[in-house]
Each structure stands twice: as C-alpha cells, then as structure tokens.
Amino acid sequence: MSTPTFLSRGTAPDQNVPTLSIIVPMFNEEEVLPVLFERLGQFLDQLGESHEIICVNDGSTDATARILAAAHERDDRIKVLNFSRNFGKEIALTAGLDAAAGEAVVPIDADLQDPPELIETFLEKWREGFDVVYAVRRHRDSDTAMKRWTARKFYQVINRLSGVPIPANTGDFRLMDRRVVQAVGQLREHNRFMKGLFAWVGFRHTEVAYDRPERAAGQTKFNYWRLWNFALDGITGFSTVPLRIAGYVGMLTALAAIIYGVFLISRTLVYGVDVPGYASLMVAVLLIGGLQLVVLGVIGEYLGRLYAEAQKRPLYIVESSLGFEPLDGHSS
Ligand code: UDP
Ligand code: MG
C-alpha cells in the first residue's frame, strides 16, 4: 500500500484559519525580540503560507509587553497574550496551543535557538501525511559538558520509567497537526511536561535532525534548579515507578531487619545478654530513619502534585490580549 499524501493540507476554505500558527513563549526577552521578528518575518514572507504568530508573554518584567504591542500594531498577524504573572514555559506553551487557530502549529523559542527555516521541512513532512514532525538535535555542542551529561541521564531515566517513549534530544520545537493540538488541549493537568504530553497523545510522527545554535541574545531562563524541578515533573508526570521502588526499599529493609533480629535473638539466647551494641544500634536507627524520610519524600512528591490537581485552578490567567476576539476562553 502506498502512503497517502495530504497535499490538501494548508488549503482550508475558511479565511480565518491560517495554515500555520507559530507559538512563541517569552519571558523577559526584550533583547532578542527585534532579531526574532526580523528573522521570523523574513522567513515567513518568503515561505508564503498564511500564518499567525502567537506571542505568549509569560509575565515579563522588562519591555517585552511594549515591544509586542508595537509589533502587533505593525502586523496584526502577530497576536499577543499577556499573562498576569510568570507561569512557566510549559504553561505559556499551553496557552498558545489553546489560542492557535492554524491547521499546523509550531512552538518555537524566542531566542532563535529553534531555527525558523526548519519549518519548511516540517511542512513538507506534514503534507506527506505526518501529524507530528519534531526536531532532533544532531549534537549538543552548544551545551556545557554538565548539561549534556544531565540531559542524557534524564532521558535514560524517564525512558526506562515511563510507558510512552519520549525521544531524546528533542525540545518543544515541532510541527503538530490541528488534531494533535486538540488532543493535547484535552490534557489539562497542572503538572505539565509538554514533551511527555506530546508523546502521550501519539499520532504519526517523524523527526528532522538539526544543529541547535546558541541563544541569539539575552540569558537562559533555566538554571539547574529549575531544570531539576522540570525533570521531577517529567518523571512524576509519566511514571509511578518511584512509588513502587519506595515500596521495594521498605520491603528489603524490613527483610534485612528480620534477619538481623533473628541473629540478635539467637545470639542473646546462646551467649546471654550482651550490652555493647551501640554501633549497630545507631547504624540501624539512622539508616532506617533516613530511608523512611526518603520514601516519605517520594510519596510527598506525588501527593503535592495530586493536591495541585485537586484544587482545580485554571492553568493560567490572561491579563490582556491583542488580536484575539473574544478575549474569554483563553483563561481555562
Ligand atoms: N520561557 C518562558 N517562561 C519561563 C521561562 C522561559 O516563556 O518561565 C521561554 C523563554 O522566553 C524562551 C523559551 O521559553 O522563549 C526557552 O527558554 P530559554 O531559552 O531560557 O531556555 P534554554 O534554551 O536555555 O533551555
Ligand atoms: Mg534558549
């Protein structure tokens, strides 16, 4: 059977539906915005597809909001959602996906680390019939050795633990068909590890290799502490194996305690009461106490996330928007 082609993709009869929605989450990106709009605008003009650019201003405290308003004035295909505070990249992306009208949707970083030119290849693959086309980094030369190592370990762990394979060395830079965006939109959990959610919904996917350049301007918004929490969100969101491991650790400790207990009782019965034993007592108390805290901590990680879900708060609050009407419906 030959693969079906989807040449009709990108020819929606409705004038209000652009072929391409580009989503740019941004947090304090004033330095890079002029370069971004210049390069993205140039690329999109030359591409010639109908499009919209949805800029999600994730509570920036610099001139980002002002620059975005000016950009919207110049070109109303640039639309803006201003969050009421910083909600984090994953949430900003979610808001962008909720607001996107395009037949194909591409999230892209503001710092031009995701080269817009790749979108042309994405569109080709999409028209061949793939619903998700994601960019895979050929190498990680633009990262420090430490970041490369932690990233590799992270993908090893999460792919061993989670039920759905999450491709290594990918980011959020990908093209998704409308159907995929709708499916992801149904997942309203607060613990949002977007790469995992994208993988979870499935659909026909393929990859495109690329070299990730350095940030065009400005500073990274992710320090190691934020990345660690990001990794915890990823693992707890897609696996309950840590809870099971906690159970096994408990069982093994109990088993060891029973064996040692039998040994101690027998020795006492045979040789009589043996008072010295301070060292073994301390080791046992400290070890078991420590293990209990670790296991409780693991349970706490899940419980905390469960609590956040139970509160059922909206995922984000949009303070103002430009280019969308009506405004409501973007705050769920
Ligand atoms: N970002 C965001 N909210 C945040 C942190 C980051 O919207 O709280 C955006 C940021 O503006 C950029 C993208 O997410 O467009 C990726 O961030 P960054 O380049 O700092 O991450 P890195 O490339 O260093 O992993
Ligand atoms: Mg970056």
Examine the domain organization and report whether 150 and 294 are in the same domain: no
Residue 10 lies in a domain: no
Examine the domain organization and report whether 35 and 93 are in the same domain: yes
The domain spanning residue 47 has which CATH number? 3.90.550.10
52, β-bridge pairs: 21
Residue 236 lies in a domain: no
Residue 27 lies in a domain: yes
Q: How many other CB atoms are there within 10 angstroms of residue 254's CB atom?
A: 11
Q: Which two tokens stand for residue 157?
A: 């762990």
Q: State the closest ligand 1 atom to the C-alpha of 87, by its place in the atom list counted from 1.
A: 8
Give 168 Cα–ligand 2 centroid separation in angstroms. 17
pLDDT band at 331 (very low <50, low <70, confident <90, very high): very low
Examine the domain organization and report whether 210 and 112 are in the same domain: yes
Examine the domain organization and report whether 317 and 304 are in the same domain: no
Examine the domain organization and report whether 53 and 179 are in the same domain: yes
Question: Which of 62, 109, 114 should be mutated for ligand 1, with most atoms under 8 A from CB?
Answer: 109
**Structure ipTM:** 0.94
Range of the domain at 37: 20-221+313-322
Examine the domain organization and report whether 29 and 88 are in the same domain: yes
Question: Which of 221, 226, 233, 318 should be mutated for ligand 1, with most atoms under 8 A from CB?
Answer: 221
Residue 190 lies in a domain: yes
Examine the domain organization and report whether 113 and 252 are in the same domain: no
Examine the domain organization and report whether 299 and 217 are in the same domain: no
Q: State the closest ligand 1 atom to the C-alpha of 108, by its place in the atom list counted from 1.
A: 15
Examine the domain organization and report whether 165 and 204 are in the same domain: yes
Query: What mean pLDDT comes out for the span 42-50?
Result: 91
pLDDT at residue number 332: 43
Residue 128 lies in a domain: yes
- Cα separation, 147 vs 37, whole angstroms: 29
Reference 91, options 221, 183, 179, 193; nearest CA is 193
Q: State the closest ligand 1 atom to the C-alpha of 88, by its place in the atom list counted from 1.
A: 8
Number of domains in the chain: 2
Please list every protein residue whose CB sits less than 6 Å from any atom of ligand 1. Answer: 25-27, 29, 58, 86, 88-89, 92, 109-111, 113, 215, 220-222
**Atom 24 in ligand 1: residue holding the nearest Cα:** 220
Examine the domain organization and report whether 177 and 265 are in the same domain: no
* 110 within 8 A of 31, measured Cβ to Cβ: no
Examine the domain organization and report whether 287 and 317 are in the same domain: no
Residues 70-77: contacts with CB within 8 Å, 24+ apart?
A: 71/33, 71/37, 72/322, 72/323, 75/41, 76/323, 77/18, 77/51, 77/52, 77/53
pLDDT band at 330 (very low <50, low <70, confident <90, very high): very low
**Atom 19 in ligand 1: residue holding the nearest Cα:** 220
Q: State the closest ligand 1 atom to the C-alpha of 219, by its place in the atom list counted from 1.
A: 20
Reference 169, options 122, 209, 121; nearest CA is 209
Examine the domain organization and report whether 209 and 269 are in the same domain: no
pLDDT at residue number 140: 76
pTM listed for this prediction:
0.79
- Cα separation, 104 vs 9, whole angstroms: 9
pLDDT band at 329 (very low <50, low <70, confident <90, very high): very low
Reported as a single tens digit per residue, the pLDDT across 228-260 is: 888 888 888 888 888 888 888 888 888 888 888
Q: Which two tokens stand for residue 49?
A: 């597809």
Give 88 Cα–ligand 2 centroid separation in angstroms. 14
Reported as a single tens digit per residue, the pLDDT across 255-303 is: 888 888 888 888 888 888 767 777 778 778 888 888 888 888 888 889 9
- Tokens 């020819």 map to which residue? 11
